[in-house]
A = this chain, B = another copy of it.
Amino acid sequence: MHVATTPLATTVRTAAPGRPLVAGIAGASGYAGRELVRLLAGHPAIEVGQRQARSDGYDPLDCDALAACDIAFLCLPHGESSAFGNALAEAGTPVVDLGSDFRQADDWTYGLTELARDAVAGSTRVANPGCYATAAILALAPLAEAGLLDGPPAIDGKSGVSGAGRAPSEKTHLPSVHGGVQPYSPTGHRHVAEIEQALSGLAGEPRRVTFTPHLAPHSRGLEVTCYARLTRPISQAEAETLYRDRYAGEPFVRVTQAPHPGLLHGGNACDLGVWVDERTNTIIAAAALDNLVKGASGQALQNANLMLGLDEGLGLVADGLGA
Contacts and interface: CB of A to CB of B under 8 A. Distances in A.
B262 A180 contact: yes
Interface string A15-33: 0000000000000000100
A279 B177 CA distance: 30
A160 interface: yes
Given A177-B174, A282-B152, A183 B31 contact: no
B217 A323 contact: no
A169 interface: yes
Given A31-B175, A265-B265, A266-B321, 20 more contacts: A34-B322, A38-B321, A152-B282, A154-B154, A158-B181, A160-B180, A162-B175, A174-B217, A178-B218, A179-B265, A180-B216, A180-B222, A180-B288, A183-B225, A186-B275, A186-B286, A187-B276, A212-B275, A220-B323, A266-B266
Q: Oligomeric state, in number of copies?
A: 4
A262 B223 CA distance: 20
Contact of A219 (B169, B179, B181, B277): B179
A208 B279 contact: yes
Interface in A138-169: 151-152, 154, 156, 158, 160-162, 166, 168-169
A99 interface: no
21 contacts: A38-B319, A154-B154, A154-B284, A156-B225, A166-B175, A168-B172, A168-B173, A175-B220, A179-B218, A179-B220, A179-B261, A179-B262, A180-B221, A180-B260, A180-B264, A183-B273, A186-B273, A186-B275, A210-B280, A212-B284, A321-B321
